[in-house]
Amino acid sequence: MAAYLYNRHVADDEYRQRARRHRPSSLLPLVAAAAVRWGQPGQQHPWLQSPYRKYTPWALADIARVALTFGTEFHRAEATEADLLKILCAYSQLKDLTLHNDDGDPSVRLRDFLMRSFGEQFVWQAPDATNLARTGAIFRDTAFPEHRTPQVLVSGWDTDLLGCTLTDYIGVTQTLWAVAMHSQGRFDPSYLDAPQAADIYDIIDRTTLLNTVERHFATDTDAFRAAERDIAERVAKTPGASHPQLRRFTHNPLLTRPAVTGFGDAWLLCPVPQLVHRKAGPAGLYFTGFASHGQSFSIETGYLFEQYVGRQLRLLADADVLPEITYLVGKKQKRESVDWIVVFDDLVLLVEVKACMPTENARLGLAFGVEETIRKIGKAYEQINRTEDLIANGRPAFAAVPKDRPRHGIVVTLEPFPIANAPFPAPGLPTTALPVTVASAQEIEYLVMLTDTSASTLLLARAADPEQSTWSLDAVLAHHSADRNPILDDVWNSYLWSSASRARRQAQ
């Protein structure tokens, strides 16, 4: 088959019709098998070795979505591997709404295209182990700041929300993923009773495992289609968001429920098993908590994330880390500085933490998405500006912060905003008197563990380079080596199914 079966742009309707030629009961198992084959752990982007590099996880996830939403078993053909590749070829040639369009400012069209592309693809590049460890590090092992009293994230919150402890929930996630990867995407309780699975019940009991899978991971076709209708109704309320060529960038219900009943002889089929891990990552848990507790869960997650970033910053061996500083406006009104001030010998870093992530409108590359992004990170810019002004003007409360060295700002977000540092048009973003970088939690976790240079040296060199200063921090970090992060390692090793835990149990 030619690498470019479609030597032209493809409309979303044509692509969907190509997938609809086949019964979902035959197409979905092929998708799952491909996701397993080209999604093996321990390899960086294994899909790059797939035929014509077409078997990307985001394409497979959308094909599964189309089959579940629009597919039918009646008067449809059996799907073959060749059919799946043809559908993947159609997906890879889908027309982009603005890139393949001559209207408007080219830099804006490129910005919107990149917002969609990064929203579609970047989430698949985060290491699963790191993501799961971060969940425990933030929500289980980080304490609330002393001046905050939780109302939702109190003792036992995880059992109330999840039906089990957070540690067990992540164990369920790992078990579901491992069985699905071993069984071509299938998950059947009978597998858990086989001799080779005997150790599973040393970790988590059968009832908890199956109840948690059913409560949080499983869905059926009717429920899936109902979720799609809800998404369509929500998207229709935003001007421009319901354009057919944007459909694939909207929320995929498999992110919320990655296992489907009714396909084959197994209880569940995970069309893309990698989505199981995403469910238990910080973002997945955030949305699970928000669905039950609303804004209160979001606010309290922000408090925990702020403290978590402080824990990471304290891993810097060559810096002092100061917590936020309270100062007076007038005679009585108290205000706080940025969340953390990191003092190196050659740099002062003003760190503002925001437990935020790109909205759906941002992932769609809409003007509303740009505005929402500016609102989310713009407040952090303003806080950095205020703190910089207070330090520069010698306010007494900031006497411990040196004034004899450069100062930079950094905005730390829970999930990446990949093009936030790029020089694309972003009207409304506050100007700053000092260099400011937007970085994700993952980037900070790597930055603090650098071994071939110091964090301050890297940040100073990056800011001085006209080109690199517009890159994501991750792009610069990729050229440097780092030790393993002990905070994440400690959490990972505490999980009951980790190799370290297994060794401890065997030694007892």
Q: Which residue has the tokens 């094909």?
A: 63
What is the four-CA torsion angle of 21, 23, 28, 34, rounded to 10 degrees?
-50
- The residue among 291, 289, 313, 314 whose CA lies nearest residue 302 is 289
Work out the burial of residue 334: count CB atoms within 10 Å of its CB; fewer than 13 is exposed, 13-18 middle, 19 or more buried.
exposed
Length of the chain, please? Answer: 508
- Tokens encoding 344: 């190196």
- Tokens encoding 395: 């306010």
Work out the burial of residue 133: count CB atoms within 10 Å of its CB; fewer than 13 is exposed, 13-18 middle, 19 or more buried.
buried
- The residue among 410, 414, 407, 165 whose CA lies nearest residue 308 is 414
Domains in the chain (CATH in brackets) are 12-92 (no CATH), 150-217+258-288 (no CATH), 294-492 (3.40.91)
Angle between helices 499-507 and 486-494 (to 10 degrees): 50
Rounded to whole angstroms, the Cα distance separating 33 from 35 reads 5
Rounded to whole angstroms, the Cα distance separating 58 from 94 reads 13
The whole-number pLDDT of residue 31 equals 98
pLDDT per residue, tens digit, the chain (508 aa), is 444 577 889 999 999 999 999 999 999 999 999 999 999 887 778 999 999 999 999 999 999 999 999 999 999 999 999 999 999 999 999 999 888 777 778 888 899 999 999 999 988 888 889 999 999 999 999 999 998 999 999 999 999 999 999 999 999 999 999 999 999 999 998 888 877 677 787 788 889 999 999 999 999 999 999 999 999 999 999 988 999 999 999 999 999 999 999 987 789 999 999 999 999 999 999 999 999 999 999 999 999 999 999 999 999 999 999 999 999 987 788 999 999 999 999 999 999 999 999 999 999 999 888 889 888 899 999 999 999 999 999 999 999 999 999 999 999 999 999 889 988 877 677 889 899 999 999 999 999 999 999 999 999 999 999 999 999 999 999 999 999 999 999 999 999 777 656 665 556 5
Cα 488 to the chain's mean position, in Å?
Answer: 16
